[in-house]
Amino acid sequence: MKDGFIKTAAVTPRVSVAGVDENVQVIKSYMELATDEHVKVCVFPELCITGYSCGDLFYQDRLLLDAAKGLMTLRDATRDLEGLFFVGLPFLHRDKIYNVAAALSGGEVLGLVQKTHVPAYNEFYESRQFTAGFADTEEAILPDGSRTYIGTKLLFRCENMKQLTVAAEICEDLWVANPPSIAHTAAGATLVVNLSASDELTGKRAYRKTLVETQSARLYCGYVYAGAGAGESTQDVVYSGHSMICENGRTLMESEPFSDGMILSEIDLDIISFRRRNTTTYGTVPPGDYHISTFHLSEEETQLSRSIDPMPFVPDDDTDRRARCEEILDIQSFGLVKRLDHTKSKKAVVGISGGLDSTLALLVTARAFDILELSRKGIIAVTMPGFGTTDRTYQNALSMVHALGATLMEVDIKASVRQHFSDIGQDEDVHDTTYENAQARERTQILMDLANKEGGLVVGTGDLSELALGWATYNGDHMSMYGVNASVPKTLVRHLVKYYADVCAASDDTLKNVLYDVLDTPVSPELLPPENGQIAQKTEELVGPYELHDFFLYHMLRLGRTPKKIFRLARIAFAGTYDASEILKWLETFYRRFFAQQYKRSCLPDGPKVGTVSLSPRGDLRMPSDAVADQWIKEIEELKSLGK
């Protein structure tokens, strides 16, 4: 429960049709197993106490009485179990039979949530036996004379975990145009459970998964879906036991087809809360006519079984990654197309260093010129050797420009920078910030003046990761007339260049080989003299690994996580790659630089947003340049003092 995580489970028990006693024992054993696994919310399928496929047997007093008594047995079992459990059964109330989800915890029946939408079409004929639920909450009498609540508007709130409010809907409720979960989440539910008995048809599994993922995405909620499976009657249809645990549109865990048993995963309630408060169009209403039952959970640190992606900006699946790369290149290129068209520019000026970022900018510019049906000769690719330029990057820059058919221009900046050093009294042997930044600003001046001279615009090369860390010279490479890489993180830049090499340059061995060598070159601004002809200034040795910084950036801005929580997740994601002390060291570097360098981001040039995280002062990040990082650094210092 710490850090906002709640462990959930969806169970598909092997039921016996109309065999209540046997089903109750099977359900009880899974409830005990869930407690052993530290599950806090556990969901069983629709009508699991009796089996869903009982048909007209639901009219029988014997079955209804036994189902109610079975509920009492499960209720009593929860006195010695930890968690909130949802089980399905037929329940007789005011001489009508209702399909209900019973919420059990701490030896109590907290409420009976009725199925709102009872189907009677195709293979479904539930309305023959069951009555649709009603909106007004009423008292219901249980077999032992105790009372609980019944209705469709019930919420279950954890007393000691403020983010956790649970709502239930049953199978068909999700498939209608206006699912009850819409109202439930607007009234405060952060976790929706669905007790289901959806039969299996060709293609239905994929549709069902999309339905659950989409609902959890649009409602910013966790969604636990438990499907009926083995043991149900196969007289006319078959049940596959399809269960899922989703969070904000992402499937955390899914059962194998035609399987029974329990699936587990942890839902991050902090993400749900952050997304809701961060999205101004997400509507909430007072609970109003909802009845709220409370329950209590013991507090403990949830052991995480969910996967933590070390590269959240980069899709895992190769097919997805290739599709994403193509999409991003299109966004970048068409953004530049519009700017070129609007400014009536027939030329573009790009500074080429032979590094990753300038390579991507040049590739995007070539793509934009192709879309506009302009000659690539209008792309003026400028290489500007300085004190730190190595033969490797220089030759790669030349080869790339020739392969793409752009116009190459070389301007050696050493003489002009030395003149500038003389003008301001800078000792060339002192390799300080002035020494480095003077070169970057000289290069930008050349690019800007060339753009004026040629009637074109300067295409920026800096990426999202550099902007986050402020790893750019103010009014140097920090400036351009359109920054095509502004919202592309470094970890994704690498994949975009590789995609271009593999796909777009597949038939051009020269370009392909150059791009692969660029990918193998250490990231560097090359502002310090080489050592034995090799790059002396390696960015990641100075500011830290970009894969860590991109991870920090994503979890801080996209998900609103605290340093403590980011550290916890980073230890899992990068286990075996970085130890705890390294992660803490670079996490502190990230926060210090992110806050201190905001003034550079406050005056960024235009550039297209390509993903869910952007640092544009006109778009995603309205942050004062004078904000201090003290509270975030304090949390990191506390982690250090604890020896984490």
pLDDT value of residue 1: 67
Q: What is the pLDDT of residues 621-638, one digit of tens each?
A: 999 999 999 999 999 999
Q: What is the pLDDT of residues 29-52, one digit of tens each?
A: 999 999 999 999 999 999 999 999
pTM comes to 0.92
CA 177 to chain centre: 26
Query: Which range, of 120-124, 141-145, 183-187, 483-487, averages the lowest pLDDT?
Result: 120-124
Residue 364 has φ and ψ, to the nearest 5°, of -65, -40
CA distance to 214, 215, 329, 473, 516, per residue, from 501 (Å):
34, 38, 13, 29, 7
Q: Contact at 8 Å (CB) between 158 and 164?
A: yes
CATH class, range 2-295: alpha beta
Q: Do domains 2-295 and 318-641 have the same CATH topology?
A: no
Mean pLDDT of 268-290: 92
pLDDT value of residue 344: 96
Spatial strand order in the sheet of 191-196: 250-254, 244-247, 222-227, 191-196, 165-170, 154-158, 291-295
Rounded Cα–Cα distance for residues 123 and 369 (Å): 57
% of the chain with per-residue pLDDT over 90: 90
Q: Which helix (H) or strand (E) holds 482?
A: strand 482-483
Scanning the structure block, which residue is given the tokens 């079992």?
77
pLDDT value of residue 409: 97
108 vs 532, higher pLDDT = 108
Q: What CATH number labels 318-641?
A: 3.40.50.620
Rounded Cα–Cα distance for residues 520 and 506 (Å): 18
In terms of C-beta density within 10 A (0-12 exposed, 13-18 middle, 19 or more buried), how is residue 177 classed? Answer: exposed
pLDDT value of residue 274: 94
Q: What is the pLDDT of residues 562-621, one digit of tens each?
A: 999 999 999 999 999 999 999 999 999 999 999 999 999 999 999 999 999 999 999 999
Q: Contact at 8 Å (CB) between 505 and 512?
A: yes
Look over the chain and give the mean of its residue pLDDT values, rounded to a whole number.
95
Mean pLDDT of 490-499: 96
User: What is the distance between the terminal CA atoms of the chain, rounded to a whole angstrom?
Assistant: 19
Q: Contact at 8 Å (CB) between 623 and 556?
A: no
Q: Contact at 8 Å (CB) between 338 and 345?
A: no
One-letter amino acid at 226 equals: A
pLDDT value of residue 536: 67
Rounded Cα–Cα distance for residues 108 and 296 (Å): 12
- Cα dihedral 445→448→453→459 (10° resolution): 140
- All structural domains of the chain with their residue ranges: 2-295, 318-641
Maximum distance among all Cα pairs of the chain, rounded to whole angstroms: 100
Handedness of CA 306, 311, 313, 319 (dihedral sign): negative
Would the pLDDT of 354 be above 70?
yes
Give the catalytic positions in this structure: 46, 115, 171
Would the pLDDT of 643 be above 80?
no
Helix (H/G/I), strand (E/B), else coil: 51: coil
Q: Contact at 8 Å (CB) between 608 and 338?
A: no
Q: What is the pLDDT of residues 120-175, one digit of tens each?
A: 888 888 999 999 999 999 999 999 999 999 999 999 999 999 899 999 999 999 99
- Cα dihedral 58→62→64→70 (10° resolution): -130
Rounded Cα–Cα distance for residues 115 and 130 (Å): 9
